[in-house]
Structure 1
Amino acid sequence: MDLSNYYNIASFSASFLISVTCLIFKFSQQRTERKHNKIYIAIVGILIINSITSILAEFFVAAAPYSKLFAVLLEISQTSYFLFHSALCPLFFCYVMRVSGSGFITKRTKLFFMLPFLLTLIPIILNPFFHSFFYYTDGYKFTRGPAEASIYISGALYLALSALLLMFSWQALTSKRKIALVYFFMITVIGILTQLFFMFIKAELFAESLALLGVLFAIESEDDRIDVDTGLYNRKALKNDINSFIVNKRQLYIVCVRITNSDILRKAVGSENTDILSEVVSEYLKTIVPKHHIYNTNPGSFVLTLMDCTKEHARDVCLQMKDRFDRVWTYGDSELPLSAIFMAAEVPERITSAADAFYMVDSPIPANNDKKILLGSDLDYLLRRSAVENAVTKGLKNNSFEVYYQPTYQLKGQKLHGAEALIRLHDKQIGSIFPDEFIPIAEQIGMIEQIDDFVLREVCKFIKSGLPEKFGMDSINVNLSVIECMQPGFVKHINNIVDEIGVDKHMINFEITESVAASDYKLLNSVVNALKNHGFRFSMDDYGTGYSNMESIFSLDFDVVKIDKSILWSAETSELGQIILENSVRMIKQMKREILVEGVETCKQIEMLDKLAVDYLQGYFFSKPIPKEEFIKMLQDNDEEKENVKNESADSASR
């Protein structure tokens, strides 16, 4: 053997080692069930076989002049090389189809795509008889036959088809997959062209194995798509796959399994580790669909993809799972009576984007829902949520938010005391949206801080106008989002807004809901104290609706406690309600806090509250929440009315 033989053996050995490494790593991941995984393994297997036959051919070509047996073995090894190697480009074409999500051809077109490969096989198989593909000279020098061009033409055709597939499915691919596939193209083409024009440089196998190594780490390794604890696909995987399905116009159903009593773990097994749920439930779900069609999106939430599925089949799958959840689950020695809701939606008819899929996965189930299976029109609430979220997202830019004001009055003399600022959303597409609906969504999508800042700025501008002081208002109440309050630098942020506009901080009274204060008062204490030191006032809102305790009221040093309307209304209809109202007022007074009662609507209620000597009143008896301009007009009308009464009294006295 000469030096070129040793060089070729080294190159083929490197290709062999790289390919074997890819194969071992792939099997060690235990992720070989998807079709593109199987195609990748087949490609690597071919490279291993080609590397072995090429190494043997180098030995056989050196020994062939001395033995006819080695000459025959040389012919067999070289023929085997071309037989297997001719399948590489067709397999890569299939791999690209699967990875891009567009590889779902019909049976008719399958034969058409296989035709170039089949035509290439004919001269290879017949080569021992006609030597039209390759042959060896008397000195056993490898010589290309005219038919060898077919393997390059076939390969170029499949690579071109693969490139077209990538172009059409480019938007469906992640950045990492795009880079990996382009890298494969470049390295493979460089290796093929090098060996085509410089036959003595055996670079093709090495280039292909190197390219497959890149594909292994960028595509076949799915570490970023798999939840480490559960071994199931994660949210990122679902997002990428849904995008791929939609871009490639795949028809499927997404089925979401939402476990509604995951707290059963703590009661049954003394653990809040939701991975136990995934372990118990996922094993069952694998009997419904293959593992690579299961996604663990949230603790206690799973998504299944049912490919090419009808509505009837999706309903049957949901019914099958419901029947299983109606029975007790077991974990070790514990029994888990799990409860779940099942939702099924079609892609792309109802689910038109990954965001729509996550609406279904993450959105709260409507409180009035009494169904276990939600399908078709049952999921219309998702459309509403999507529309509301869109309205919230664009609200500030489109000037859709508006601050309303509801006045508060002193009990004695029913003199104006102040007002509560309340946010409203008016969307051009879906109309007016109340805070109870859009505030939770704003908190979930991270818009609540911007909305709170908008309200505070609008209130400061109103105070800056001088009208509140002119009409005798002591303060304006602004609802405080505890989500924002817990953010670092919150106190400085609030002070910066108020100082920027330049208003008296005593005119701003922040409200915190009772349920939040009762659970997080230790965290809020430093924030409340810091803001009060700067001159702001504080009220507890909705007293009586949460988990009241005097410790929270006392520790947070509220100036005013606002008793919820439910306590007032209950006091009118029952003796127990009357006792609760009287005792609440007594306790708050003993703690030396002022009292405002919400929901005042009748003279009878005012008389009852007058006997209890509360401080302030708020409710529809005086005014519903109204826009700022209407609020100003109402105050002006009230002032004019008072002035007229005063003038009439003066005229009467002068007569």
Structure 2
Amino acid sequence: MRGVIMELIGAEFFSIIVVAAILFDRWKVQKQNSSLPADKAFFKLLVAYTGFLVIALFNHASILQVVKFPLLLERSITIVHLVTFPLFILLWLLSIESQLLERKPFVILGILQIGVLAVYAIYSLADILLGRAYILDDTLKAIGGNGFITTVLLSVAYCVLALAIIAISWKKIEMGNHLLFIIIPLLLMVSMVFFYLFEQHNLFTLGTSFVLLMNYLFLLRKRLEIDSLTGVPNQTAFMTRLEWILRQGHEATVFVLDIENFRFINHRYGIAVGDALLQSFATYLSTLVQDGVIYRVAGNRFAVVAPKLSHNEIVRVVNRFKVKIKQPWEVADTTISFHVNVAIIELPDHADAKDQVVDTIDFTLSEIKSRRRQSIVIYSKRLMLLRQRRLDILTALRNAISNESMVVVHYQPIYDTSSGHLVSAEALMRLQDDQLGLLMPGEFIPFAEHAGLIVNLTEIMLRRVCTFLTNHKTAFRHLNHISINVSAEDFSSMEMSKRLLDIIDNSGVRASRISFEMTESLLLESYETVKNSWGAFAQRGVTLALDDFGTGYSNLEALVNMPFDIVKIDRSVVSNSTNNFELITLISVVLERLGKRMIAEGVETQEQVEFVRAAGIDCMQGYFFSKPVPEDHFLNLLRYDNAK
């Protein structure tokens, strides 16, 4: 008997060490970051289990006569020790129920369970004096009465109830948590059965320590999903939540709030104020939607996930937010006004996979920023169709990379102002897709750049133009070159430049027959990136053109330093020829002295033709002469020009 008791005491001391280690680590983590949640329910379990262990140690010390107590006190400690078994199991059960049940059933069921335990506890404690339910021998071992079996049955009943609630609420349990929920009541129930059969609770003591440790490790893992600055769940937790919602087929409304120009706020007010603003904003969002869970999904972006809201409820939330965000925010003794874009997504109506949700959010926010008409947008059928259109265009782009026949080249002729001859042309890309029809560059080029496909398209265009020049050498009496629009990506490295030059060399076309056009805005934004490649092309004889000149970025440094041969005046300047005449004339004189030619774009009227000639501009293109035309039509224009 003494050996058995010593084993129990050893298990209890080991468990106390485990609990102490958990409490110390918990305190240390909490001290390092006070914004992390305090896990109050788990802390209560630790305290309750510590109390259980202390009572158990007193009980076993009394049995071994290490500490001598009066007989009545020894009996009291033994019975209280037995009562703590169902009490501790009930605390576990209530912790599980609080996570799985709605508030009303949780309260009702909790009252019933606590009531049963209260009756049992009163019955047991009253027996300290009566001695009927718990008949103990000299070693305080139960040898009669129904108290011991009642303790075991009540404990097992609580465990069975916990398993039943877990089974009923299985779909509500977040992914990855199921095993933990099952192990807790199952292990406690098995340990109580062992306690009844062998009258030892080593398994209960050690098993509970194991479960507490496992639960704590789980909480530590959950803390990795907490944003250290704001104390709210982070993007990892957000993605996990989305996956769980969609997997369970639940309905939810997701608000994504993006603070605009947050980098400017940090720059103007300092990082400390910016951090304080994020903390204040997160605190406010936690009260925005009833039953909503807030997440920080990026540096200046938050999400609120709530059970599905009706349209009227969404409107009320939006109106409250509008009122709040219009007011200046007092943060760290600083008054800040800022703008927030809000995308509202409904699940699973608008997306049925977490990656789709993220794409939908990004798409909606990008629409808000690009259109600038409103800062709060509910993802709608119109946006759904628009997004699907963009996805279809991306598919068409990828198909065109592998099937170059989908790329259609149209040519817009460029005429010499003095002679009237067709002296060059601009090659313009279209995509011919079986489903989408003929796609214009204004629709697909931005997506190609974003998807990293623009370089592939440039290579295809260059091959097609080189093939055209090779196949129709006799048609070029006055034609000097054909120009192709390029992006900064095409000039991003010398390797890229070499690939383009190799295409020209392999075709047998003289490099001077090819011209590359880059817009002025793109050139100036990417000047350091493209200047080396630009110079390499110039050395090989490729004609270089500065496109869309005069759209607002113009500066003399670009005109003087970059080795381009041609400046293309933007159509907006030409269309406002009356007001721009003196300026364009002056620029024409400067460019002539620099040895550069000028082409006027977007010439559509006879008046504009006269303006271009009077301003001394070398060439012109536009709908007055011809819109971009297919290859065969362009050949006819060349033949007609040759016959002049």
TM-score range, shorter chain: 0.7 to 0.9
- Counterpart residue type for residue 558 of structure 1: F
Superposed CA deviations along residues 171-194 of structure 1, whole A, max 9, x for unmatched, are: x63xxxx2x654675698678757
Alpha-carbon contact 1:256-1:303 (below 8 Å) kept: yes
Mapped partners of 2:600, 2:59: distance in 1: 95
For 2:391, the equivalent position in structure 1 comes to 390
Matched, 1:407 2:412: yes
Matched, 1:359 2:365: no
Matched, 1:77 2:96: no
Shift of 1:624: 3.1
For 2:581, the equivalent position in structure 1 comes to 578
Shift of 1:514: 1.0
Mapped partners of 2:415, 2:310: distance in 1: 64
Mapped partners of 1:142, 1:439: distance in 2: 84
- Counterpart residue type for residue 4 of structure 1: E
For 1:650, the equivalent position in structure 2 comes to none
For 1:53, the equivalent position in structure 2 comes to 55
Alpha-carbon contact 2:342-2:375 (below 8 Å) kept: yes
Secondary structure, aligned partner of 1:523? helix
Q: What TM-score comes out, normalization by structure 1 length? A: 0.77
CA gap of 1:349–1:595, structure 2 versus 1, over 3 A, is same
Matched, 1:457 2:456: no
CA gap of 1:461–1:344, structure 2 versus 1, over 3 A, is closer
Between 351-360 and 75-84, the greater mean CA deviation after superposition: 351-360
1:563 maps to which of 566, 569, 580: 569
For 1:417, the equivalent position in structure 2 comes to 424
For 1:62, the equivalent position in structure 2 comes to 64
Alpha-carbon contact 1:184-1:215 (below 8 Å) kept: no
Gaps of 5+ in 2: none
For 2:278, the equivalent position in structure 1 comes to 278
CA gap of 1:372–1:194, structure 2 versus 1, over 3 A, is closer
For 2:140, the equivalent position in structure 1 comes to 140
Between 497-506 and 541-550, the greater mean CA deviation after superposition: 497-506
CA gap of 1:390–1:41, structure 2 versus 1, over 3 A, is farther
Secondary structure, aligned partner of 1:253? strand
Alpha-carbon contact 1:567-1:577 (below 8 Å) kept: yes
**What root-mean-square deviation, in Å, do the aligned CA atoms of Structure 1 and Structure 2 show?**
4.5
Alpha-carbon contact 1:60-1:71 (below 8 Å) kept: no
For 1:588, the equivalent position in structure 2 comes to 591
Alpha-carbon contact 2:547-2:570 (below 8 Å) kept: yes
The sequence identity of aligned pairs, in percent, is 18
Matches within 5 A, 1:7-26: 7-21=10-24, 23-24=26-27
Secondary structure, aligned partner of 1:592? coil
Alpha-carbon contact 1:15-1:51 (below 8 Å) kept: no
Alpha-carbon contact 1:403-1:424 (below 8 Å) kept: yes
CA gap of 1:267–1:18, structure 2 versus 1, over 3 A, is closer
CA gap of 1:194–1:267, structure 2 versus 1, over 3 A, is closer
For 2:533, the equivalent position in structure 1 comes to 527
Matched, 1:633 2:628: no
For 1:649, the equivalent position in structure 2 comes to none
Superposed CA deviations along residues 499-539 of structure 1, whole A, max 9, x for unmatched, are: 37933582543332211322442333223234445664432
CA gap of 1:361–1:141, structure 2 versus 1, over 3 A, is farther
Between 106-115 and 8-17, the greater mean CA deviation after superposition: 106-115
- Counterpart residue type for residue 19 of structure 2: F
Secondary structure, aligned partner of 1:338? coil
Size of the aligned set, in residue pairs, is 613
Mapped partners of 1:343, 1:211: distance in 2: 42
CA gap of 1:405–1:636, structure 2 versus 1, over 3 A, is closer
CA gap of 1:461–1:44, structure 2 versus 1, over 3 A, is farther
Mapped partners of 2:108, 2:279: distance in 1: 43
- Counterpart residue type for residue 547 of structure 1: Y
Mapped partners of 2:569, 2:367: distance in 1: 29
Mapped partners of 2:454, 2:278: distance in 1: 37
- Counterpart residue type for residue 488 of structure 2: V
Shift of 1:358: 2.1
Mapped partners of 1:117, 1:500: distance in 2: 82
Mapped partners of 1:619, 1:509: distance in 2: 18
Secondary structure, aligned partner of 2:591? helix
Superposed CA deviations along residues 465-511 of structure 1, whole A, max 9, x for unmatched, are: 6336454365443333325644xxx3214434663793358254333
Mapped partners of 2:22, 2:48: distance in 1: 9
Superposed CA deviations along residues 618-641 of structure 1, whole A, max 9, x for unmatched, are: 322344345xxxx22113433555
Alpha-carbon contact 1:567-1:580 (below 8 Å) kept: no
Superposed CA deviations along residues 435-487 of structure 1, whole A, max 9, x for unmatched, are: 445544554xx41x22331342243145246336454365443333325644x
CA gap of 1:479–1:240, structure 2 versus 1, over 3 A, is farther
Shift of 1:545: 1.2
Secondary structure, aligned partner of 1:145? helix
Mapped partners of 1:331, 1:455: distance in 2: 50
- Counterpart residue type for residue 638 of structure 1: L
Matches within 5 A, 1:426-575: 426=433, 428=435, 434-443=440-449, 446-447=450-451, 449-464=452-467, 466-467=470-471, 469=473, 471-472=475-476, 474-482=480-488, 485-486=491-492, 490-496=493-499, 499=502, 502-503=506-507, 504=509, 506=511, 507-533=513-539, 536-571=542-577, 574=578
Matched, 1:254 2:254: yes
For 1:602, the equivalent position in structure 2 comes to 605
Secondary structure, aligned partner of 2:547? strand
- Counterpart residue type for residue 405 of structure 1: H
Alpha-carbon contact 2:432-2:439 (below 8 Å) kept: yes
Alpha-carbon contact 2:409-2:631 (below 8 Å) kept: no
Superposed CA deviations along residues 152-184 of structure 1, whole A, max 9, x for unmatched, are: 465356347547755x468x63xxxx2x65467
Shift of 1:551: 1.0
For 1:324, the equivalent position in structure 2 comes to 324
CA gap of 1:20–1:301, structure 2 versus 1, over 3 A, is closer
For 2:239, the equivalent position in structure 1 comes to 239
- Counterpart residue type for residue 225 of structure 2: R
For 1:100, the equivalent position in structure 2 comes to none
For 1:651, the equivalent position in structure 2 comes to none
CA gap of 1:251–1:513, structure 2 versus 1, over 3 A, is same
- Counterpart residue type for residue 553 of structure 1: L
